[in-house]
Structure 1
Amino acid sequence: MTVRAAASAIDLAKTAPFALGLATVLPSSCEISAAGQTVSVEPRVMQVLVALAQRQGETVTRDDLIAQCWRGVVVGEDAIQRCIGRLRKTAAVVGGFEIQTLNRVGYRLRQIPAAAEAANSPPAAGTHDKRPTIVVVDMQVFAAGSEVETFAQILAQDLSAALSLNRDLHVLAAHATVSRVAATKEWSSGAAGLRYIAQGTLRRMGEHYRLGFQLLEAASARMLWAHRVDLADIDTPSDDLVIDLAGRMSTEVMRREADRVLRSADELTAWECVVRANTAYQHISLDNLPFAISESRRAVQLDPNYAAAHAALANGLAASYEVGGARDVALVAESQFHCDRAMALDPNDPAVMMWVANALSMTTRPPKGLELARRAAELAPTNPIAHLYLARQYLFLGQPEEAMACLAEHERVAPLFPWQYFIAFNKAFAHFMAGRLDEAKSEIDRAALLNPGYAYTWIAKTILATMAGQSEEALEAVKRLRHLEGDDSLDLQLARIAHSYPEGPVRSTLQAIIADAWGRFPVN
C-alpha cells in the first residue's frame, strides 16, 4: 500500500484493501478477514491499524497517531491504548502480525515471517519430528499365576497411555505378543525414530512383589535410569502407581532431551527451540532470560502456528518483566499478545495452558490464570511443571497450603526435577506466608545451596535472617545480592517486592528490611 505522510489524516473510505500477514484488511468496511473468518473493528481502531501498516515496520509516535486518526484533536493515552489493545486481540485471532510498544516513543507493527504461507499449508516438515519416541515393551514376570501376568500387561498398557498424555513425547504401542528382544532389534534401527525403551520386571519377594523399571537408550541398549517399587499385592495397577512411574520416566527423558538439544550442531526444529528456551529456568536471572526469549522467538519464526512456541515466548517475556521488577510494561503487552495467540491456536494443549497461566500470574494483579493452571494439571498429571505453576498461582493468591499440596505432587512425580532450587524457594515462600518461619528458612537455605545465583533467594534470606534477629547472616545475604546484581540495584530489589506483595504494611515492612540491610552494608 502507498505510504502517506505522517500528518495525513486517514480516510477509510478511500483506503484500498491490503494484505497483512495472514489477513486481508478491508478499511472501508472496517473488517479483517483470515482463515475463512471475518473480524469487525471500530473505525478508530481500523484507522490506527492503517496508520501503523502504512509505516511498514517503522515506529509511529503518539503525536502521529493523533494527527492521522483523531485529526489532531488531543486525546489521552488511554484512548490510544484501547485501540492498540483491540488490535492485539484481533492479531491473536487472525495471526500474522503483532504490535510492539516502545516506551515513551510509540508503536510499531511487525509482520510475523512466513505466517501467511504457514496458514495455508501444513507445518513444515521437521517442525516437530525430533520429539523423542519411547515404547513400553512387555514386562518380564518371575512369578507364577495368571493374575501376575494380567497385572504386568495392564501396567504396561496403562503406563503407555499415561506417557502419551505428554505432548513432548511420541509413544509407540507395543503389541502384547511382541517380545522385548524383537522390539529392541526392530525399533532401535531408527526406522521408527525410537530413542528410548522402557522395560519392566515383576518378581515375588517373600510376602510382597517387587516391580522394577528401566529406561534404555534404544540405539545402544545402555541403561539410563532405573526405579523399583515394592507392592503388597498385585490387584489392578493403581492410578497413583501409573502416574508416579510415568512422571519419573517423562522427567528423565526430557532432562536428557534438553542436554541433547543444547549440544546439537544440527538444524533445530521449533520443538527443539522451545526445549532449549526452557533450560533457562534452571538458573533464572536477568542474564539468562534473554536466551529463553530468543529461543522462543526462533520457534515462533520457524512455525508461526505452533501454539506452544507462542506460550513459551509469553512465559519468557513475563518472567523478564517480573525479574526486572515489573518496570518494563512493554513486555506485558507483548506477553499478552502471545498468550492470546497460543490459546487461539491450541486451547486444549496442557503445555500451552500452564505456560499461559504462569505468564498471567507474573503480569496481572490480582493474578489471573488459576483455572487454566488447574486444567493443565488435570490434563497432564505426569507433567511436573504443571503442578509447579499451579502452586505459584496459589502463592500469588495467598493460599499457601494449596500451594504446598501442589509442590508435594510435583515432587512425587518428578523427584529428579532439574529446577530443585526453584521448588525449595517456592516451598519457602509458602511456609513464610503461613507463618512457619523456621521451615521457610530451612527451605531458603537449601535453595541458596542449590543455586546461589538466584537473586530472589538472597532477598528472602535477608528478610528471614532479619526477622530472626540474625543480623550478621542478613548482612551476608545482602552482600551476596549486591555481588550478583550490583551496589546500585536497591531500587530493583524494592520493585521486585512491590510486584510480589500488594500495597500495604507487609510490603512496606519487607522493603524497609531490605533497604535497612542495604544501607548497613559497607561499600568497598
Structure 2
Amino acid sequence: MRGKIRPFRAGHVTLRLISAGSGVPDIFLSYSREDQARAKLFAEAFQTQGFDVWWDVGLRTGEAYDEVTETALRTAKAVVVLWSKKSVQSRWVRAEATLADRNKTLVPCMIEPCERPIMFELTQTAELGHWQGDAGDSAWRSFLSDVYRFVAKGGPVVVLAPASAAPAAVSAPVVQAAAQGGKPHGVRPSVAILPFTNRSTERADEVFAGGMGEDIASALSLGRGLKVISQGATAAYRKNTSDLRTIGQELGAKYMLEGNVRRVGASLRVTAQLVEADNGAILWTQKFDRPLAELAELQEELVSEVAANLGVQIQKVEMERALRKPGDITAWEAVMRSWAAYARLTPESVAVAVAEARRAVSLAPDYAIARATLSMGLSIQHQQTGYREKLLIDEAIQHAEAALKLNPNHATVLFLVVNAFGNAKRFAEALPLAERAVELNPSLIDARQALAICLNHFERYEEALVQLAEGDRLSPRAFQQVLSLGHRCWALYGLGRLDEALAVVTQYVRLDPSFRYALMTHPVFLWALGRMAEAQEAIRRVRTAEPREGLDYWVGLARGCYMSETMFQSYSRHFIAAWNATPLEAGA
C-alpha cells in the first residue's frame, strides 16, 4: 500500500517502514543518526517517486541488530548509503554498505565532503552535498535514474553521474577500469581483523574483546590505502582460528590480525599479532596495557594505538616487498618504492623517490596518491637546490593540485600535498588541509607531522609539540618518527627552550648525519647557547657536506623552509655569525 507510513518496534530501536508493500522494500536507506534530517529528505523524495523505502529513525547504540531490519537490508533492491563525516565512522553504516556491496545493491552518495572507507574508494559515488530536496536538480535526477535502474534490474551501474554533475571523489576512468575487472593501481594489501578472544573469566571482557576487532577494522580502514575485509566476513571464524592459511585463502586476505584480551593484575592487556596469510609467519606482535579503572575513558585511545602500529607494520612489509620485486611493478608498488626511498632524505634517495613516483603516475594517471607522492618529491628536490629551481616547484604544485581534484578527502593525499605547499610557501592553504588530514585519520603520524609543520610556521609552537607527541605515541616504531625530531627542535627553539632544542637536534644529527637541515641547525643552537667552539666544529661539518656551496646557499635553504619570518631572522643571524667566525681550512 503505497504512500503510508507506519512505525515498527524492535527492542530499543524504532523503525519506520514507508509503504511496506509486499515486505520487500525497493530501497534500504543507510545513514548516521546525526544526519537524520538529511535522510528524511531522501526518504520523502524517494517516496514521492513511488518507491517503497525502509529507513531507521531510532538510535543505534550497540544493541543486537534486529532480524527484521537485516532481512530488509538483504532483500532491498537498492541500498542507498549516505556518506558523511559521521556515517563513515559508524560501524552500522559501514556494515550495511559492505553487505550491499557484496549483494551488488549498493548505490552510494556523499551528502558532505568526507573520506569514504578505503574499500569503497573505487565505487563511483554521486555528489549530493548541495542537494536540499529540489526535485529538478540535475545531479539528483541523475542519481534518481540510477536508483530506478537498480530497482528495476538489480544490476550495478558503472558511471553514476553525467559529466555535467559535480565530480565524484574518484575519476570515471578509474571506476570504469575497476568495473571491467581491471586493477588500475595494482593490488592493495588486504587485511582481515579476526575476532579477538577473551582469555579472562569476566563476561564484561568478552564484550570488550568483541568490540576491539570491529573498532580496529574501522580505524584501520582510514589508513594508507589498505583494503580491510569486513567484520561480517571474519565473524564466522570467531570460534575457530587455528588454520590461518585456510582462513586467509577463504577471505582473500594477504595479512591477518589476531589478538586476545586478558587481565594482568589491575590492568587489561591486549595482545595483537600480524600474521602473513599464505605461510602463517608472524610479522609483528605487541602487548598494550591499560588500567582497568580507566579503561572506559582509554578504550578509543587504545584502538587508535593498535591501528596505528598495525598500519605502520604493514606499510614496512609492503615497502620491503616492493623493493625486492624485480619487474612488472604496479602503481601501488611504485608508490611503496618511492616511500621507501624517502626514509633517507639525501639528494640521491629523493631522486629515486621521484623516479618511482613518476612511474606510478605513468601507470595510473588518475591515482591521487601517486600524484601527491610525486608532488612532495619534486618539492623536496626544489628545497635541496636551495630553492633555486623554480621549474621543480611549479611541477610539484601541478601534481599537488591534480591530486586534490582526484581525491580531496584522503588523509594520505592531504599530508603529501601539505608538504609540497609548504615548500611553495603556501601555508594559508596548507594549514586547513593538514587539519583535515588529522580529522580524517587521527592515527596517521604523517598527518600530525604535516599539521606540526604548519603550526610551527604560524608560531603556534605548543600546539605543534602536542601533535608531534601524539603522532609518536601512536606510532612509536614508525620510520617517519625521525622527521618529528626536526619539527620538534624548531618548536622548542621558537619557545626559547634552547637546551632541549639542542638535545633533539643532536639526536637527529646522530641518526641521520646527511640531512642538511639537521646539519645546519646544530651550529645555530650551539651558537645561541654561547658554545662557540662547538658551533665552529659543527660549521666545518656543514662545509664538508656541501664543499662547493657557500653561505648564500645555506641561508637560502633556511629562508625557503617551513619556519616563520621571525624565526628565520633569528636562525640566520646565529648561523651567519657561526659561519663567519669559522676560518676556512687550508685548500678549501
TM-score (norm 1): 0.73
Distance 1:470 1:209, change over 3 A: same
Once the two structures are superposed, the pairs formed by residues 120-135 of structure 1 within 5 Å of their partners are: 121-122=176-177, 125-135=182-192
Tell me the CA shift for residue 193 of structure 1.
4.2
Deviations 1:255-309 (A, max 9, x none): 1111111111141111111121122321112222211211111111101111111
Aligned residue in 1 for 2:262: 203
Deviations 1:342-396 (A, max 9, x none): 1111111111111112211111255531000100111011211111111111112
Tell me the CA shift for residue 434 of structure 1.
0.9
Matched residue type, 1:322: Q
Helix, strand or coil: the match of 1:287?
Answer: helix
Point out where structure 1 has 5 or more consecutive residues left out of the alignment. 1-92, 95-115
Helix, strand or coil: the match of 1:369?
Answer: helix
Aligned residue in 2 for 1:240: 301
Aligned residue in 2 for 1:283: 344
1:176 pairs, out of 210, 235, 256, with 235
Aligned residue in 2 for 1:502: 565
2:202 pairs, out of 132, 142, 145, with 145
Kept in 2, the 8 Å contact 1:367–1:397? The answer is no
Aligned residue in 2 for 1:310: 371
Kept in 2, the 8 Å contact 1:137–1:183? The answer is no
Matched residue type, 1:142: R
Distance 1:402 1:483, change over 3 A: same
Separation of aligned partners in 2, 1:340 and 1:510: 37
Kept in 2, the 8 Å contact 1:162–1:243? The answer is yes
Matched residue type, 1:465: L
Distance 1:397 1:346, change over 3 A: same
Aligned residue in 2 for 1:453: 514
1:385 pairs, out of 415, 421, 446, with 446
Matched residue type, 1:226: T
Separation of aligned partners in 1, 2:531 and 2:240: 60
Q: Are residues 1:437 and 2:501 paired? A: no
Separation of aligned partners in 1, 2:572 and 2:333: 43
Q: Are residues 1:412 and 2:469 paired? A: no
Aligned residue in 1 for 2:279: 220
TM-score (norm 2): 0.65
Tell me the CA shift for residue 218 of structure 1.
1.7
RMSD (Å) for aligned C-alpha atoms: 2.5
Aligned residue in 2 for 1:57: none
Deviations 1:202-239 (A, max 9, x none): 12223333221111222222222222122332658721
Aligned residue in 2 for 1:399: 460
Q: Are residues 1:330 and 2:385 paired? A: no
Helix, strand or coil: the match of 1:327?
Answer: coil
Helix, strand or coil: the match of 1:238?
Answer: helix
Helix, strand or coil: the match of 2:352?
Answer: helix
Separation of aligned partners in 2, 1:351 and 1:207: 38
Separation of aligned partners in 2, 1:520 and 1:471: 16
Distance 1:413 1:475, change over 3 A: same
Q: Mean alpha-carbon deviation: is it higher for 409-418 or for 490-499?
A: 490-499
Separation of aligned partners in 2, 1:378 and 1:169: 18
Aligned residue in 2 for 1:493: 554
Aligned residue in 2 for 1:31: none
Q: Are residues 1:512 and 2:576 paired? A: yes
Q: Identity, % of aligned pairs?
A: 28
Matched residue type, 1:502: E
Matched residue type, 2:177: P
Helix, strand or coil: the match of 1:230?
Answer: strand
Matched residue type, 1:272: E
Distance 1:259 1:119, change over 3 A: closer
Helix, strand or coil: the match of 2:476?
Answer: coil
Matched residue type, 1:374: E
Q: Mean alpha-carbon deviation: is it higher for 275-284 or for 425-434?
A: 275-284
Q: Are residues 1:155 and 2:215 paired? A: no
Distance 1:497 1:185, change over 3 A: closer
Helix, strand or coil: the match of 1:202?
Answer: strand
Tell me the CA shift for residue 419 of structure 1.
3.0
Point out where structure 2 has 5 or more consecutive residues left out of the alignment. 1-165
Separation of aligned partners in 2, 1:244 and 1:266: 35
Matched residue type, 2:337: R
Once the two structures are superposed, the pairs formed by residues 341-360 of structure 1 within 5 Å of their partners are: 341-360=402-421
Tell me the CA shift for residue 183 of structure 1.
6.2
Deviations 1:7-45 (A, max 9, x none): xxxxxxxxxxxxxxxxxxxxxxxxxxxxxxxxxxxxxxx
Tell me the CA shift for residue 508 of structure 1.
4.7
Separation of aligned partners in 1, 2:400 and 2:352: 19
Helix, strand or coil: the match of 1:284?
Answer: coil
Separation of aligned partners in 1, 2:509 and 2:471: 20
Separation of aligned partners in 2, 1:235 and 1:409: 20
Distance 1:167 1:230, change over 3 A: closer
Matched residue type, 1:383: L
Q: Mean alpha-carbon deviation: is it higher for 203-212 or for 354-363?
A: 203-212
Distance 1:521 1:467, change over 3 A: farther
Aligned residue in 2 for 1:339: 400
Distance 1:394 1:237, change over 3 A: closer
Deviations 1:98-130 (A, max 9, x none): xxxxxxxxxxxxxxxxxx995794268333343
Separation of aligned partners in 2, 1:227 and 1:131: 24
Separation of aligned partners in 1, 2:557 and 2:436: 29
Aligned residue in 1 for 2:85: none
Helix, strand or coil: the match of 1:131?
Answer: coil
Distance 1:257 1:410, change over 3 A: same
Deviations 1:405-455 (A, max 9, x none): 110111011100113332112111111111100000000011011111111
1:136 pairs, out of 193, 196, 214, with 193
How many residues align? The count is 410
Aligned residue in 1 for 2:100: none
Helix, strand or coil: the match of 1:188?
Answer: helix
Distance 1:207 1:365, change over 3 A: closer
Matched residue type, 1:513: A
Kept in 1, the 8 Å contact 2:199–2:260? The answer is yes
Q: Which has the higher contact order (CA 8 A, sep 6+)?
A: 1
Q: Mean alpha-carbon deviation: is it higher for 441-450 or for 263-272?
A: 263-272
Helix, strand or coil: the match of 2:216?
Answer: helix
Distance 1:230 1:522, change over 3 A: same
Matched residue type, 2:576: A
Q: Mean alpha-carbon deviation: is it higher for 480-489 or for 407-416?
A: 480-489
Deviations 1:453-498 (A, max 9, x none): 1111110111111222223322222222222222434332121122
Separation of aligned partners in 2, 1:255 and 1:517: 44
